[in-house]
Amino acid sequence: MMYNLAIIGGGPAGYTAAQMAQNAGWKVVLFEGDTLGGTCLNVGCIPTKTLLYSVKQYHNAMLANKYGISVENIAFDLKKMQQRKQKVVRKLVAGIKASLKDCTIVGAIAKVVSRTDDKVVLEAEGEQYEAEKLLICTGSNNFVPPIEGISDNPFVLDSTSALNLQEIPQSMVIVGGGVIGMEFATLFGQLGTKITIVEAMQDILPQLDQDVVDLLKEKYVKQGIEILTNTKVERIDRNIVFTNNEQKPQIDAEKILVCVGRRANLRGLEALEDIELERGAIKVNDFMQTNLKNVYAAGDVTGKIMLAHVASRQAEVAVGRMLKHIPLQRIAYNAIPSVVYTNPEIASVGLTEKQVSDFYKEMEGIDAYEQKGGGEAFYEVKSLPMSFSGRFVAENEGENGLCKVIVDKRNQTILGVHAVGNPASEFIAVASFAVRMGYTISEFKQVVFPHPTVSEILRETIMAI
């Protein structure tokens, strides 16, 4: 049978594309060599957030006294937490499977055999499949840096093995203070593990706005998490990490978690030898088309922004283009929200203050930028403490947080929103909408927010501009 579309990979990009194409009446074959749902659902976003929620409940129980509740004998049961995590994952995987009822699902690794402009031939477990178009959604793998002593070391974990630990280690060195590193520091740190974060750059979470990072860092350092920045790992010997940090040249820990980024997974695509790559990932245009006429790619394999919600949006754009229903839709990469599930959470969308100031410095030239009065001439920044929201104060005893909004002075549009405090993840979508639609602050001010909600902090901050 000739399929209209073959999809390799059943993660958020692959299953979203398959749902959309099958609903349009296309004959679709989807190959998944592991479990439907991909990294996000099986070994990423969902299991991490499930465990983090258990940890938050434990943490809240310990703080219950602050809210007038006495709780005795507080303890956690990692085995039960792990069982619940598996149950959540199973339920969501089953939901995806059910949603793909009109699609052929092949539970095996697919390999491209050949391609012409109107046909792609694939092979999985000895069977051949033909399709008019191919969508590559093969995702990414943990990057293992070339550090001596890292490979085949039983003390070294990646995010997948860290998620499956059956005992809480007493101590852990986390190599890489990015999103994964900080989320695992939260998970294990709040269960009592002594955490040391080793970050090569001058700060943790280097892609985020400095003000929100500073607030989180202050809190984590107070909790006893050690953060070593500008520090590189030189080698690892069993459970000892050797660094270039003169104050801390060696750190020993029960476990070493390495999370220094992910790389596109190109396995099975060897026959597409003419496919254009960019920094090791598949190069795509705004419609997720590769340089090969009938081959598209979506998700982490494109190396754009490695987030599940970007992957699913990319898949929608790709299939929209193939179906010619919505051929001109592109992704607004400037309005992609991101959340770091630390406690408190960090949520942001749009540009950071540094990115805005770098943009204007480059556009104007550094001398003209300074002569015109520096950043203040081009953009306005307003930050309010989260305690300006009554609901935040009611629910976050003794906690602080921040909401920061950056506005372009030329046209009064919102360039970026950055928040730290619980539950920032739940209101960042409103800010994404404003950034995506290019709303001015006077337009935004006409929107009524429900009271009392933590989301009101966003309105309060914008009202103060």
- For ligand NAD, the binding residue among 201, 240, 271, 429 (CB under 6 A) is 201
Could you tell me how many residues of this chain bind ligand NAD (CB under 6 A)? 26
- For ligand NAD, the binding residue among 38, 181, 337, 375 (CB under 6 A) is 181
Scanning 180-188, 221-229, 263-271, 312-320 for contacts with ligand NAD by CB under 6 A, the matching segment is: 180-188
Segment 278 to 317, residues that bind ligand NAD, using CB under 6 A: 306-307
Long-range pairs of 235-238 with CB within 8 A, sequence gap ≥ 24? 235/147, 235/148, 235/149, 236/147, 236/148, 236/149, 236/150, 236/153, 236/155, 236/156, 237/149, 238/149, 238/153, 238/155
- CB-wise, 135 or 306, nearer to ligand NAD? 306
Scanning 54-62, 177-185, 316-324, 356-364 for contacts with ligand NAD by CB under 6 A, the matching segment is: 177-185
9 touches ligand NAD by CB under 6 A: no
Segment 250 to 279, residues that bind ligand NAD, using CB under 6 A: 259-262
Q: So which residues are the catalytic ones? A: 451
CB of 222 to ligand NAD, least distance (A): 21
Closest CA to 77 of 100, 54, 95: 54
419 touches ligand NAD by CB under 6 A: no
Residue type, 453: T
85-124 footprint of ligand NAD as x/- string (CB under 6 A): ----------------------------------------
Residues forming beta bridges with residue 387, ordered by sequence position = none
Scanning 95-103, 175-183, 268-276, 426-434 for contacts with ligand NAD by CB under 6 A, the matching segment is: 175-183
Coil vs helix vs strand at 283? coil
Q: Where are the beta strands (DSSP E) in 165-214?
A: 171-175, 194-198
- For ligand NAD, the binding residue among 38, 149, 176, 421 (CB under 6 A) is 176
Other beta carbons less than 10 A from residue 25's beta carbon: 10
CA dihedral sign of residues 309, 310, 311, 315 = positive
CB of 461 to ligand NAD, least distance (A): 23
CB of 419 to ligand NAD, least distance (A): 14
150 touches ligand NAD by CB under 6 A: no
Interhelix angle 78-99/12-23, nearest 10 degrees: 30
On the CB side of 311, how many CA atoms lie within 13 Å of its CA?
28
Other beta carbons less than 10 A from residue 250's beta carbon: 12
199 touches ligand NAD by CB under 6 A: yes
Six token digits for residue 458:
């966003």
What is d(CA 362, CA 103) in angstroms, rounded to the nearest whole number?
A: 49
Output the CA–CA distances (angstroms, integers) from residue 294 to 130, 278, 283, in the order listed: 13, 19, 14
329-368 footprint of ligand NAD as x/- string (CB under 6 A): ---------xxxx---------------------------
- For ligand NAD, the binding residue among 7, 36, 180, 386 (CB under 6 A) is 180
Segment 211 to 240, residues that bind ligand NAD, using CB under 6 A: 232-233
Coil vs helix vs strand at 89? helix
177 touches ligand NAD by CB under 6 A: yes
- For ligand NAD, the binding residue among 10, 37, 149, 178 (CB under 6 A) is 178
Residue type, 63: L
Give the interface with ligand NAD as residue ranges (CB under 6 A).
145, 175-181, 183, 198-201, 206, 232-233, 259-262, 306-307, 338-341
